C-alpha cells in the first residue's frame, strides 16, 4: 500500500495537512508499524529495571514481544522474547536470572541470547543448536528511559536526541537523579496522529486550555524543528502573587520536546514527565504519562508532585475532548485536508513531512 493524497512541500505557507484518510483508514496503521514504529527508537521501560547483571525486563513494541537483559559482562541486550521452538513467550514481567527459560518445554537461553539447552531433543536431524539464537536488536538508555529499535540500521539514539540532553542540563534538570514517581494511562478514541498533531502546536492554548494559558507567556511561545524532533519553547509568566498559579518560579522556562514519532518529554526545573503515544487500533490510542522527580520531591509531605499531576490531568482531559472531536470530523465525507498557521503550526507541518518521508521511503 502506498500512501496517497499528500504532496509534501517544505514551504509551510503552501502546505496542507495530511489527508483525512491517513487518520481513518485502518490500512495505514499496518504500514506505519513497519515503516515508522519498527524503524525508530521506542521507549519500552525504565532503565533501572535492568541496572544490574542478570536483570531482565519483558516489554513490547506495538505487540512485538521483546526482552531486555543485562548480561554477566554488564552489556545490555534486547532480544525477541519469542521461543525458537514453538513460539511461546519466554520471559514475563521483570526480575533477575542466570538464564532465560521458556515456560512451555523448558528450552533455556543464555543472557547473550544463545540456546543453551533443550530437553529430549536427541535424534533431530539437520538442526544445529549452536546456530539457534534469539534475534537481537539495538537497545540504549538515556536518563530513566530504556529505548529499543526493532530494525537494525538508522541513526543511534544520541543522534536522534540531538541537543535535548544538553538543554535539559542547562535548565537544571538532572536526568540521572530522577526517580519514577507515577504512571497514568488515558485511552482516546482517535488516531494516534491526531494526538501528536495536538501536542505539536500551542495555537489551541488560548482557546482550549485556560489554566495553562494563565501560566504561559503565549506571545513568546515558539516551536523549533530539528531533524527528528521539535522543541517547544513555552516560557512561564511571572506569578505576581496569583494564588491560582501552579508555577511560581519567576522567569523559569519549561522545555517540551516531541521526538518522532510518538515520544514526548516535558521538562521542568523540578520534574520531568514523558508521554508515550501508542496506537491500539486506527482509531484507538493509549497515552502513557509518567512522572519522574528528584528524590527530595518524592518525600510524602511534598506537594510539588501532587500539584503537578493534578494540573497535568486537567490539561489532558481538555486535550482528549479536542482530539476525539477531530477524529469525528476526519470521518466526515465533507473534509479532506486543511491549511496550517505559518506562525503557530510549523511543528505539525514538520511531523507531517516526517510521516510522508518514512511512509514513502
Instruction: Give me the residues that bind ligand FES (CB under 6 A), please.
Output: 83, 85-86, 88, 102, 104-107
**Sheet order of strands, 253-259 included:** 179-188, 284-293, 271-281, 263-268, 253-259, 229-235, 222-225
Residues of the shown chain interacting with Fe ion in the complex, contacts defined by CB under 5 A: 319
Q: Tell me the residue nearest to Fe ion as measured from the CB.
A: 319
| Closest to Fe ion by CB, 319 or 345 | 319
Burial classification of residue 31, based on how many CB atoms lie within 10 Å of its CB (0-12 exposed, 13-18 middle, 19 or more buried): middle
Q: Which does 319 bind (CB under 5 to 8 A by kind): ligand FES, Fe ion, none?
A: Fe ion
Q: Which does 345 bind (CB under 5 to 8 A by kind): Fe ion, ligand FES, none?
A: none
| Closest to Fe ion by CB, 116 or 288 | 288
CA dihedral defined by 205, 259, 31, 357, rounded to 10 degrees?
A: 90
- As a whole number of angstroms, the distance between CA 261 and CA 280 comes to 15
| Closest to Fe ion by CB, 211 or 294 | 211
2 HSE (CA, 13 A, CB side): 5
| Closest to ligand FES by CB, 89 or 280 | 89
**Sheet order of strands, 145-148 included:** 42-46, 145-148, 139-142
**Minimum distance, C-beta of residue 316 to Fe ion, in the bound complex (Å):** 8
| Closest to Fe ion by CB, 140 or 319 | 319
| Closest to ligand FES by CB, 115 or 223 | 115
- As a whole number of angstroms, the distance between CA 292 and CA 312 comes to 13
Q: Which does 107 bind (CB under 5 to 8 A by kind): ligand FES, Fe ion, none?
A: ligand FES
**Minimum distance, C-beta of residue 164 to Fe ion, in the bound complex (Å):** 21
**Minimum distance, C-beta of residue 208 to Fe ion, in the bound complex (Å):** 6
Q: Which does 337 bind (CB under 5 to 8 A by kind): Fe ion, ligand FES, none?
A: none
**Minimum distance, C-beta of residue 84 to ligand FES, in the bound complex (Å):** 8
Q: Which does 104 bind (CB under 5 to 8 A by kind): ligand FES, Fe ion, none?
A: ligand FES
96: cell is: 533477575
| Closest to ligand FES by CB, 100 or 150 | 100
**Minimum distance, C-beta of residue 315 to Fe ion, in the bound complex (Å):** 6
Q: Which does 102 bind (CB under 5 to 8 A by kind): Fe ion, ligand FES, none?
A: ligand FES
How many CB atoms are located within 10 Å of the residue 349 CB?
26
Could you give the angle at the alpha carbon of 145 between the alpha carbons of 148 and 147, nearest 5°? Answer: 5
**Minimum distance, C-beta of residue 327 to Fe ion, in the bound complex (Å):** 15
Nearest one of 147, 150, 123 to 137, comparing CA atoms: 150
**Minimum distance, C-beta of residue 29 to Fe ion, in the bound complex (Å):** 23
**Residues 218/206, Cβ–Cβ less than 8 Å:** yes
Q: Which does 86 bind (CB under 5 to 8 A by kind): Fe ion, ligand FES, none?
A: ligand FES
**Residues 115/129, Cβ–Cβ less than 8 Å:** yes
| Closest to Fe ion by CB, 80 or 312 | 312
- As a whole number of angstroms, the distance between CA 266 and CA 173 comes to 11
**Minimum distance, C-beta of residue 198 to Fe ion, in the bound complex (Å):** 5
CA distances for 120 relative to 44, 107, 110, 117, 173, angstroms: 35, 10, 19, 10, 55
192: cell is: 494516534
Amino acid at each position: 500500500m502506498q500512501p496517497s493524497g499528500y504532496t509534501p512541500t517544505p514551504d509551510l505557507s503552501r502546505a496542507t495537512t495530511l489527508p483525512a484518510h491517513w487518520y481513518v483508514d485502518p490500512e495505514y496503521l499496518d504500514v506505519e508499524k513497519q515503516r515508522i514504529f519498527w524503524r525508530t527508537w521506542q521507549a519500552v521501560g525504565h532503565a533501572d529495571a535492568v541496572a544490574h547483571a542478570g536483570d531482565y525486563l519483558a516489554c513490547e513494541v506495538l505487540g512485538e514481544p521483546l526482552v531486555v537483559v543485562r548480561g554477566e559482562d554488564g552489556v545490555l541486550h534486547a532480544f525477541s522474547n519469542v521461543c525458537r521452538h514453538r513460539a511461546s513467550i519466554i520471559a514475563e514481567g521483570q526480575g533477575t536470572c542466570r538464564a532465560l527459560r521458556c515456560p512451555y518445554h523448558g528450552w533455556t537461553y543464555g543472557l547473550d541470547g544463545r540456546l543453551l539447552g533443550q530437553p529430549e531433543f536427541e535424534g533431530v536431524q539437520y538442526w544445529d543448536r549452536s546456530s539457534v539464537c534469539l534475534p537481537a536488536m539495538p537497545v540504549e538508555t538515556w536518563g530513566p528511559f530504556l529505548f529499543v529499535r526493532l530494525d537494525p540500521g538508522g541513526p543511534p539514539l544520541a543522534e536522534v536526541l540531538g541537543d535535548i540532553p544538553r538543554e535539559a542540563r542547562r535548565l537544571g534538570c538532572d536526568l540521572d537523579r530522577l526517580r519514577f514517581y507515577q504512571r497514568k494511562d488515558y485511552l482516546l478514541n482517535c488516531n494516534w496522529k491526531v494526538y501528536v498533531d495536538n501536542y505539536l502546536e500551542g495555537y489551541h492554548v488560548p482557546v482550549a486550555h485556560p489554566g495553562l494559558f494563565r501560566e504561559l507567556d503565549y506571545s513568546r511561545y515558539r516551536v523549533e524543528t530539528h531533524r527528528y524532533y521539535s522543541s517547544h519553547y513555552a516560557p512561564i509568566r511571572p506569578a505576581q502573587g496569583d494564588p491560582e498559579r501552579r508555577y511560581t518560579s519567576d522567569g523559569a522556562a519549561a522545555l517540551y520536546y516531541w521526538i518522532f514519532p510518538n515520544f514526548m518529554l516535558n521538562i521542568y526545573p523540578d520534574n520531568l514527565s514523558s508521554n508515550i503515544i501508542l496506537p491500539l487500533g486506527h482509531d484507538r490510542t493509549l497515552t502513557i504519562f509518567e512522572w519522574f522527580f528528584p528524590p527530595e520531591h518524592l518525600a510524602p509531605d511534598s506537594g510539588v508532585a501532587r500539584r503537578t499531576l493534578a494540573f497535568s490531568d486537567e490539561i489532558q482531559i481538555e486535550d482528549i475532548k479536542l482530539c476525539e472531536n477531530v477524529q469525528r470530523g476526519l470521518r466526515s465525507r465533507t473534509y479532506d485536508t486543511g491549511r496550517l498557521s505559518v506562525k503557530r503550526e510549523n511543528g505539525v507541518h514538520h511531523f507531517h513531512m516526517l510521516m510522508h518521508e518514512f511512509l514513502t521511503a
